[in-house]
């Protein structure tokens, strides 16, 4: 994608999550239509992808849809993305392999590959009106063994998962996608190709320190607080996003 001038559609999140923003309760959709972004995770039987690269691919893919020129005012994706972002930014992760993975490549969205793992974030839309290509994909069965990715590279945005909260890979994929979107809004990432991002799970002491810094208003640090629809309690901070240092 080629960068173009202008403010990303992510700017819609600034009043909710940006620096100095007042947190507000997001009401149900005014038109009664529940919308979500499908995030399709490629999980083949052999070889299985590693957990961390798969989450990194999902984190980048979700924000890449929002930074795509087609999602900006005047673009063919704009209405769908704007309506979704202005409401509750739900994501639903599904798994695919083989022919099913190839089929979703034909749907509007962005595929990202990281170290042999791949995820495709699709154009958001009503949850009760997804294409059959997507609806036939399983939501469960996304668990992968824990891995040891080592220290995160310097110079790129970092998403940290809450070490005290257990989440399936599908749930975590949605959460890290939320984190990159909020961080992109807070940092005003330009329209164009999304930056590479790292995903890690810190130790509890590091997590607690960062949460204290979050409460103190440290710039370049954002949080994802889950609505509690699945797996975790409402208000749980599932992950933190840190700007590239």
Q: Please write the tens of the pLDDT for every residue from 1-57.
A: 333 334 678 888 876 665 544 444 566 677 788 999 999 999 999 999 999 999 999
Alpha carbon distance 217, 19 (integer Å): 8
Instruction: Give 216 or 61, the one with higher predicted confidence.
Output: 61
DSSP letters for 98-123: HHHHHHHTTSSEEEEEETTEEEEEEP
3-state helix, strand, coil in the chain (%, to 5): 30, 20, 50
Give me the chain's average pLDDT, please.
89
Give the sign of the dihedral formed by CA 231, CA 161, CA 243, CA 216.
positive
Instruction: Report the predicted TM-score, pTM, of the whole model to 2 decimal places.
Output: 0.92
Interval 67-105: pLDDT, tens: 999 999 999 999 999 999 988 889 999 999 999 999 999
CA 135 to each of CA 93, 121, 139, 163: distance values in angstroms, whole numbers, following the listed order: 11, 14, 9, 31
> Which sequence spans correspond to the domains of the chain?
35-141+150-242
Q: Is 81 helix (H, G, I), strand (E, B) or coil?
A: helix
């Amino acid at each position: 994608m080629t960068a173009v001038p202008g403010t990303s559609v992510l700017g819609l999140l600034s009043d909710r999550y940006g620096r100095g923003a007042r947190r507000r309760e997001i009401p149900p959709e005014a038109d009664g239509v529940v919308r979500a972004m499908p995030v399709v995770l490629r999980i083949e039987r052999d070889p299985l992808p590693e957990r961390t690269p798969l989450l990194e691919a999902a984190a980048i893919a979700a924000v890449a849809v929002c930074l795509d020129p087609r999602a900006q005012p005047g673009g063919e994706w704009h209405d769908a993305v704007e309506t979704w972002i202005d409401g509750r930014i739900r994501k639903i992760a599904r798994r695919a392999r083989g022919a099913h993975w190839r089929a979703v490549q034909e749907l509007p969205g962005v595929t990202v590959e990281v170290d042999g793992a791949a995820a495709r974030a699709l154009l958001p839309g009503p949850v009760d009106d997804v294409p059959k290509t997507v609806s036939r994909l399983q939501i469960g069965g996304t668990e992968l063994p824990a891995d040891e990715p080592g220290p995160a590279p310097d110079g790129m945005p970092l998403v940290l998962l809450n070490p005290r909260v257990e989440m399936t890979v599908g749930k975590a994929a949605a959460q890290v996608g939320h984190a990159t979107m909020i961080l992109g809004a807070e940092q005003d990432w330009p329209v164009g190709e999304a930056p590479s991002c790292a995903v890690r799970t810190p130790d509890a002491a590091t997590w607690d320190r960062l949460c204290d810094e979050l409460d103190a208003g440290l710039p370049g640090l954002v949080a994802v607080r889950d609505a509690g629809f699945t797996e975790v309690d409402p208000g749980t901070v599932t992950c933190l996003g840190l700007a590239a240092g």
